[in-house]
Amino acid sequence: MVGDAITDAIAGFFEGSIAEWLRSKGIEESRTALGSACGKMTGCLFGSGVVLTVSWLAGVDAMKGA
């Protein structure tokens, strides 16, 4: 989960950098490197938290059978 969030943040940084480059060429774009990176990382961590909370509330035992 955390590794996925970190790689999403790195991808968001490159996505935002490309968006900034497009703006410099006159193509209208509103994303920034920092905004894209933080947005992707936050979304990933939020989604993981929701899944873990729902499974905990449902009584799923991840260690069962291990």
* pLDDT at residue 41 is higher than 80: yes
Residue 29 lies in a domain: yes
| Residue 16: domain span | 2-57
Using CA atoms, how far residue 29 sits from 33, 41, 46, 57, in Å, is 12, 20, 26, 41
Residue 63 lies in a domain: no
Residue 40 lies in a domain: yes
Please tell me the predicted confidence (pLDDT) of residue 30: 78
pTM greater than 0.85 (yes/no): no
Residue 30 lies in a domain: yes
* pLDDT at residue 58 is higher than 80: yes
Residues 19 and 32 sit within 8 Å (Cβ to Cβ): yes
Residue 66 lies in a domain: no
Q: Which residue has the higher pLDDT, 57 or 2?
A: 57
Residues 9-37: pLDDT tens digits? 788 888 888 888 888 999 887 778 788 88
The number of folded domains in the chain is 1
Give helix 2-24 / helix 33-57 axis angle, nearest 10°: 150
Q: Please tell me the distance from the alpha carbon of residue 40 to that of residue 46, in angstroms, as a whole number.
A: 10
Please tell me the predicted confidence (pLDDT) of residue 25: 92
Residue 65 lies in a domain: no
